[in-house]
Amino acid sequence: LRDSFIIASDSSGLIVIDQHVAHERVLFENYVRDRGADRVEVQRLLTPILLELSPEQEVLLDSVSAELAQSGFELEPFGPRTVAVTTAPAILKAGAVEKLLRELVDGLERETRELDIDGFQKKIAATVACHAAIKINNPLDSVKMRWLVGELMKTDCPTVCPHGRPIIVRYDLREIQK
């Protein structure tokens, strides 16, 4: 439906699956698993991405730099209040890296001054998965749809994305008949 939702059925009724958040859930769980095993695949960026930071952002980023490195991001100082991002997780398109890191840094500023490392790891994974997932209005053929639904059903939580949005809406056959 509109190159954004997968429409399926089972013995109990109709199922509508948001393809973006379904893919996000699959990528999130794979990334968390790879991160836990220190197997995050990285890509070296052809041209480093330069991020200018406020003094507060610089301190916050410095406090989480080890976690970012383990998550696939390599950052190097590049002059006063600027860092160069030289590697990123391989599942990301290079164009998404700056926006993703800006979102993470801005989120750190807004949320808390005390860092909860587990929460931050999940935030990194959720943000990476969201930026890497297929987008709405992106047509999938039936093979890709079946693959995505199959992978989604293998996840620990196939009903909501890492941000809490529902992935699947189910309409019982009796509801439809009414």
Write out pLDDT tens, residues 6-32. Answer: 999 988 999 999 999 999 999 999 999
Alpha helices in 73-133 (DSSP H): 94-111, 117-132
Q: Where are the alpha helices (DSSP H) in 1-138?
A: 19-36, 55-63, 65-70, 94-111, 117-132
Q: Is 48 left (phi over 0), alpha (psi -120 to 50) or beta?
A: beta
175-to-12, 13, 24, 166, 171 alpha-carbon distances in Å: 10, 9, 29, 20, 6
Strands 82-89, 74-77: parallel, antiparallel or unpaired by DSSP? antiparallel
Tell me the pLDDT tens digit for each residue of 111-139. Answer: 555 557 788 888 899 999 999 999 999 99
What is the band of 57 on the pLDDT scale with cuts at 50, 70, 90?
Answer: confident
